[in-house]
Amino acid sequence: MISRPTLAVAEPLSPQRQALRDALDAHREAEERLAALEIGRERARSARWATSTRIAEAETQLRDALAQEGSRIAFAFINDDQDTLTVSPVAEARAELDRVHDERQRNQTLEQALDQELAIAVRQVADRESDIRKAAAQVIVDSAEFEYLLAEVPKAWGRIRGLRIACHEIKKACGEFIPPAFGDRWQAAPSLDPDALFQTTDPRPIEEWKKSLAALLEDPEAILPNDV
Mean pLDDT of the chain: 86
User: At 96, is the pLDDT very low, low, confident or very high (cuts 50, 70, 90)?
Assistant: confident
The three-state DSSP-derived secondary structure of 102-122 is: HHHHHHHHHHHHHHHHHHHHH
The full set of domain ranges for the chain reads 14-142, 144-228
Q: Identify the helix (H) or strand (E) that includes residue 58.
A: helix 15-78
* CATH homologous superfamily of 14-142: Helix Hairpins (1.10.287.620)
CB 212 within 8 A of CB 146: no
What pLDDT score does 73 carry? 64
- Model confidence at 185: pLDDT above 90: no
The total of other beta-carbon atoms located within 10 Å of residue 19's CB is 19
pTM: 0.73
Segment 45-63 mean pLDDT: 84
Q: Quick one: average pLDDT of 83-99?
A: 76
